[in-house]
Structure formats: structure tokens, C-alpha cells
Amino acid sequence: MLVTQAIAEILKKERTEYLSCFPTTPVIEAAAEVGIRPIICRQERVGVGIADGYARVTNGRTPAVFAMQYGPGVENAYPGIATAYSDSSPVLLLPLGHSRAIQDTFPLFSSMRSLGSVTKSVEQLVLPERLPAAMRRAFSKLQNGRPGPVMVEIPEDVAALEIDPALIAAYRPAPVVRSMGDSQEISAAAESLLRAERPVILAGAGVLYGEAWDELTELAEYLQVPVVTTMEGKSAFSEVHPLALGSISGVMSGPAFKFFGESDLVLAIGTSLTIHGMVTPIPAGKRIIHTTNDPADIGKSYDVDHAILGDAKHVLRQLIEVIADMTGDKPIDPNDGPAAEIDASHSAWMASWIPLLESDERPINPYRVIREFMWNVDPAEAIVTHDSGNPRFEIMPFYRSNGPRTYLGWGKSHQLGTGLGLAIGAKLAEPEKICVNFMGDAAFGMTGLDFETAVRSDLPITTIVLNNGTMAVEEKNMDTSHALYGTRDLGGGYADIARSLGGWSERVDSPADVGPAILRAVEANRNGEAALLEFMTSEESAYSHMRPFS
């Protein structure tokens, strides 16, 4: 048995169904031979994005794997790997490596040296007999603790060697372990929650990866505490729930701004609380309960009052049980909770945005596209993601997800074009869902040709391009250069490109046609066609509406 065949057999033992990939690597052929379907991308960066989207939607229950060649293949995959790393997405990377005899020769690219900063771990297979242990370590790291991409490099000469089949027959999948929180810290945190006058729960992606959404809802309802999510945690709590505030970032809904700003205690569950450019920091003066499964998060960005190390699902269950014991199992009456105040805040906030959300202006206001999408697509039946820049900040405050992983939010590392691969991976994981990515024209220029990957792979997603013909988000940064040389302006007809790539497409110029066009795209998806809608939009910039806490 060749090493590559042994790798495929181990992937099969670990329940792998798909291999996102780009030639040249013999792992593709070996995987196909054992019934693992290869998904061939147009560029490696998008291929990693496909595996990333698949990993997010499946929560790692079936492995997300990406394989590529050495050198340029790994180099081109780097941005996608960085995104997966920043968002703790469990993707197994299987790059081919240069032969051992030449791998340290200038200027050959080294996966081992170069990917260490954007992976949870890197390991090189130096001898065939070490393969089972290397793969077991990789899968253990994927499934335990904070998730993240893990790499096993296979040097080209090692890939062609033989391995004893008995070693592979004896391979056993790595165990998955989850930990509970310290009981004393749980009790202290519970007491703080009960004493708080205006607590808020901040839920991150750890709630999603821990599949702790039922426990989150149960705790919020028991205490009648409003819930806000991070960008990446969006959909961990149904945003049509009466206690939902939406997501919080550089932009946020009116209720999120109000309740988060006025809170006296924040229970941060399943989030690293990392301070970065795409999030508004927690205002000073609030007590913080921080629960995470990674000790590196504790104290990283904030002084916290209570720190709990443990799996989100277990910790939430512990809190529920301790609080029930402290209160004599008497949950707060919903009529005494903040639901009515949240609803009034949301209604007032939405009313202030109606001029944009229902605008009849031409070119089409991008907020009108988002409003029409929300009117015409059931959020429980969809998986939606954004792209960088305006699309992200225009959709996140308004779109109300309804169910875990019905929205894929991201933003710590934010390369343009990421959303397309995520949507394709989501469709691979949930074929019955309407999988949609919103992107701008600049993002299409980065990765748009991989729309053909969705067409060719029979993964009928919908791509919505908000085409304003310029980089509106850069208005403040490129004022002089644009005035002199038109540096922000872009051009292209993306509906025509999508049609030439074999997909269904429409270009929409009139606000009145937005809703009907969205419904036609959904119908095209149901007929097995990948769809692209190109909306000719105005230069409305989401950044002009950003407001930090004072």
C-alpha cells in the first residue's frame, strides 16, 4: 500500500466524505479510489474556503479536508488558511511537500516554516510508518479544544513509498473529549448573574462548535436575559427570538447598541473576546464573566470578574442547574423580562432605517436588496454569508438568522472574496438549504471565477453581487487619488460572466425588480442551477453609519 493510499484509508476511517482540492497531488486519486468525492476548485484559496464553510456547517462531525501541491499550491492557499485560523475553523490541510533531499533549498516554499503562524499545528511525515500516529494527532487537534486548521505535510518522495497495510488496519480514530467548568467558579458566576440588574449574554462561535444553542436559549429564557452574538457567533441564538438583540461589531442593531451599552454585566460564552478592528470593545465599567475552552483567551483582552475554562455546552448546563438550585427552580416570568423593551427598541430602530431599506432610488440602494431578501427568503431555510467591506456591515445588523449555522459570519481576517467558498462548502454540507453569499464587485474580482466550481460540482448556490462600480468603502482613504485618477472605480458585467460560466444569472437595475429576481434565483437553485444576481447599486457606504460606544 502506498502512503497516499494509506492516507485515503485513514480519511475514510475518520468518516471523510469530500476532499476539497486542486492538483497536483496523488491524494486526489487515492481519495477517489476509496469513495471520497473530490471537489476541484479554480484556485486554492477558494478550495480552503469550501472546506472551511463545510467545517462550520457540519461542526466538524465529518472532517473538512483540503489537499494541494507543494510550492505555489500552498502559497496560493495561505489567505484561506489564515481566515480559517482566525475563525477557529477545523480544516485538515494535506499539502504535498518538496522531496526531503531538496526541501530546504532556496527559494523553495516550506509549508513547515510558513504555515506555523496560521495553523493550530504543523507536522511533516518523514517516514511511512509514522503516518498513523501523525494522522491521529492531527484529528485529535481538530476535534479537541479550540478548533483550527491542522496541517500534515507529505513530502513528494514519502508519498510514493509503501507502508505496511497492517498499520492502517489497526488505526483507530482519535477520541473526542469535552471538559466542564470549575464548580466554584460556576457558583460564583451564577450568583453574579442573579445579582445583575441589566445582564447581557454575549455568545460567540464556541456556542456553535459546542452545539450549545439549546442550552443558551434555556439559560436566556430562565433568567430572561437578552442575547447578543459576535460576528462569528451570529446564528448561535435565533434572531427572531424575543430576547435576541442581533450581532455586535463595528455596526450593530439599535437594540444591541442600547442593551449592550446599558448592561452592568456581560456573560461572554464561547468567545475569545479578542479586540480587533472589526469589533467594538466592551465598554468600561461592566462586570464580565468569561467562559472559553482555550486558556490563552483568559485575561488576553480584558480584566474579568469570573473566568471559566470549559466546553460551552457543559458550562451552560452547569450554570442552568446551579441557578435553578439557587432560585428554587423558579424561572423569571417572561412578562417581567425585557422582551417588550427589546421589541420597542427594534421597531424604533427599523423605522429610522426605512428610507434606506425601502428606498426607490436608482441606482438601487444596497439596503433595499437586503430588505427584499429578508422578505422573500425564509431564514430558517437558508445559510447566508457576507463578504468583506460594505456587504458585511450592510447585512449583519439587519439580517435575522433563525437556527444554528443559518448564517456564517466572519471578520477577524477578512480577505475579499472569502464568502464564495464558504457558501459552496455550506451547500456541500446542507444540500437542501438555500445557500447565499453577498459580495461586492471588488470581491467578485478576487474569487468570482470559482462560481464555475459551484456550477461544475452541482452545488447550486446563489451569489448576490452588489455592483456599485467603485470601492465606496475606500472613499475616505482614497479621496485625492480618486479625484485625480479615478482610483476607486471598477468595471464589469458580472451577470454576463456567470452566464458564460454555465450558471443562471440576471442583472437588475430597478428596485421594483429586486424581490422577484431573488425568487427567480431561488427557483433556479431548486432546479439545480447555480445562480448569480447582479444588482446595480448606489455608493451607499455602511461605514458612514458606524458608531462606537462612548
Closest-CA residue to 66 (of 153, 143, 161, 173): 153
- Whether residue 363 is preceded by a cis peptide bond, meaning omega within 30 degrees of 0, is yes
CA distances from 487 to 197, 439, 473 (A): 51, 20, 13
Tens of pLDDT, residues 164-206: 999 999 999 989 999 999 999 999 999 999 999 999 999 999 9
Tens of pLDDT, residues 125-138: 999 999 999 999 99
What integer pLDDT is reported at residue 281 of this predicted model? 87
- According to DSSP, residue 297 is labeled G
Lowest-confidence pick of 45-49, 194-198, 417-421, 540-544: 540-544
What integer pLDDT is reported at residue 386 of this predicted model? 95
Tens of pLDDT, residues 242-262: 999 999 988 899 999 999 999
**Which amino acid would we find at residue 532?**
L
Residue 456 in grid coordinates: 461544475
What integer pLDDT is reported at residue 412 of this predicted model? 78
Q: Are the C-beta atoms of 153 and 125 separated by less than 8 Å?
A: yes
Sign of CA dihedral 160, 163, 169, 175: negative
- φ/ψ (deg, to 5) at 484: -85, -40
Tens of pLDDT, residues 94-106: 999 999 999 888 8
Tens of pLDDT, residues 367-394: 999 999 999 999 999 999 999 888 998 9
> Quick one: average pLDDT of 142-146?
94
Tens of pLDDT, residues 484-506: 999 999 889 999 999 999 999 99
- The residues that bridge with 507 in the sheet, in sequence order, are 534
Closest-CA residue to 230 (of 277, 288, 285, 269): 269
Of 413 and 177, which is predicted with more confidence? 177
* Separation of first and last alpha carbons in the chain: 64
What strands lie across the sheet with 37-40, from one edge to the other? 37-40, 18-21, 64-68, 91-97, 150-155, 121-124
CA distances from 222 to 200, 225, 262, 307, 336 (A): 13, 8, 21, 22, 12
Rounded to the nearest integer, the mean pLDDT of the chain is: 95
Which domains, from first to last, does the chain contain? Answer: 3-169 (3.40.50.970), 183-341 (3.40.50.1220), 358-545 (3.40.50.970)
- DSSP strands (E only) in 444-547: 462-467, 504-508, 531-536
Banded pLDDT at 550 (limits 50, 70, 90): very low
> Quick one: average pLDDT of 462-477?
89
> Quick one: average pLDDT of 11-36?
97
Banded pLDDT at 544 (limits 50, 70, 90): low
Rounded CA gap, 463 and 417, in Å?
11
* 5 CB burial (10 A radius; 0-12, 13-18, 19+): buried
Rounded CA gap, 406 and 83, in Å?
19
Tens of pLDDT, residues 233-243: 999 999 999 99
What integer pLDDT is reported at residue 198 of this predicted model? 97
Tens of pLDDT, residues 309-339: 999 999 999 999 999 999 999 999 999 999 9
What integer pLDDT is reported at residue 470 of this predicted model? 85
- Within 13 Å of residue 191, how many CA atoms lie on the same side as its CB? 7
Residue 276 in grid coordinates: 480587533
Q: Is the pLDDT of residue 89 over 80?
A: yes
DSSP string, 215-265: HHHHHHHHHT--EEE-TTTTTSS-TTSTTEEEEBSSSB-HHHHHHHHH-SE
Rounded CA gap, 217 and 316, in Å?
10
Banded pLDDT at 475 (limits 50, 70, 90): confident
